[in-house]
A and B are shown apart, each in its own frame.
Chain A
């Protein structure tokens, strides 16, 4: 469903808020427009990653299974 990511962040086995923290650390280091795939199987990640994107004005592209895709907007 989503274009190949520029980078993959493996947060499998980590409990929230750790995957969101990892995302917040990594995304600003990527160029604007880059897509980050966050692998996270904590059920809270599916809620909190889109919520983080909204709060930080980043683009949430979608989730498939345990893969959550985010594009750096700014």
Chain B
């Protein structure tokens, strides 16, 4: 019998929210024209784009002219980092960032250093929490143009001390960029940032839509060739139907966020405690308290991460992993490395609106046997 499938990788992409599907279908019919043209169908597209921007801005509590749509969370992060550095190049060429940023931020940082700039990485502790003293030292150093902090870890779920980090930045006169991809649509983002990015597919919007918010008064300059669309912040035609769906589903997800968090937090607690109790030699990682409501990560000693992913997939479970054997670069996750926790046999489970208690129970019932079988095959039982 083929097991029914249980999707547990919402942190990569949540299944499309019903509101997103509805809005997408309607906008495919109604929003295909170019919003910048001057005929009737174009004006209709312009109205849809303006309404989407207003809805998204309202949900985030920002002004519509501060918000631009991008072609992904990755592009938004690139713009945030490179544009933030460019806008402040007279202040210096130092980028401060945590050691657990998303690869999109790290890749932008690499481009910055390849061009002669400097990047200062701030460590985290074993639970994946930013070292605030080290952050303070780094941000108050000379020549700092921008500081970047992920709002909550996409790999281990630990929520970062954004407000405290922002206070340090404000005192030093350094703008703070917050990558809130895992937080937007799930919990309120703390205040104090100057630039923020998010990704629609994380809250049930379609893939290929990102948000870039640049607060008024922030020195930010587009790193791209000139283009007047999206207030000059993101070049290229926006995918309007997808943008409309993203904004509609963001509003729906944010309206349900508190109830969803109250439903998912105890399910994640259950996974944390049952995995620790019922799978021998497992390390459940990340902050057990200050964490995202929907995400949990653990590592199984002596187990090959890729083999574990495939074994889970054969039983119908879709999860992701930070183990080196599952990455194209064959390097372990830099997040697990920065935390100093076991990187092999790693599994990240992330829940969404369609995840049920029965799904979680089935996962918890099957996981110990799957891990035990893999250990038996590898001959590592009793080590």
Chain A residues near B (Cβ < 8 Å): 15-17, 20-21, 24-25, 42-44, 46-48, 50-52, 55
Contact = CB atoms under 8 A, between A and B. Distances in A.
14 contacts: A16-B304, A16-B323, A16-B332, A16-B343, A17-B301, A20-B344, A43-B330, A44-B324, A47-B336, A47-B337, A48-B344, A51-B342, A52-B301, A52-B342
Contact of B343 (A24, A25, A51, A55): A51
Contacts of B226: none
A16, A21, A43, A52: most-surrounded residue (chain B CB, <10 A): A16
A73 to B, nearest CB: 17
A20 B325 CA distance: 14
Contacts of B301: 17, 20, 52, 55
B283 A17 contact: no
If over half of B's interface residues share one DSSP class (helix, strand or loop), that class is named, otherwise mixed; here it is loop
Contacts of A50: 340
Interface of B: 281, 283, 301-304, 323-325, 330-332, 336-337, 340-345, 378, 380, 383
Contacts of B325: 15-16
A51 B302 contact: no
B340 A17 contact: no
A1 B336 CA distance: 26
Contacts of B330: 15, 42-43
Interface centre among A15, A43, A44, A52 (most CB of B within 10 A): A44
Contact of B342 (A15, A25, A43, A55): A55
B331 A51 contact: no
Given A43-B331, A51-B343, A55-B283, A16 B383 contact: no
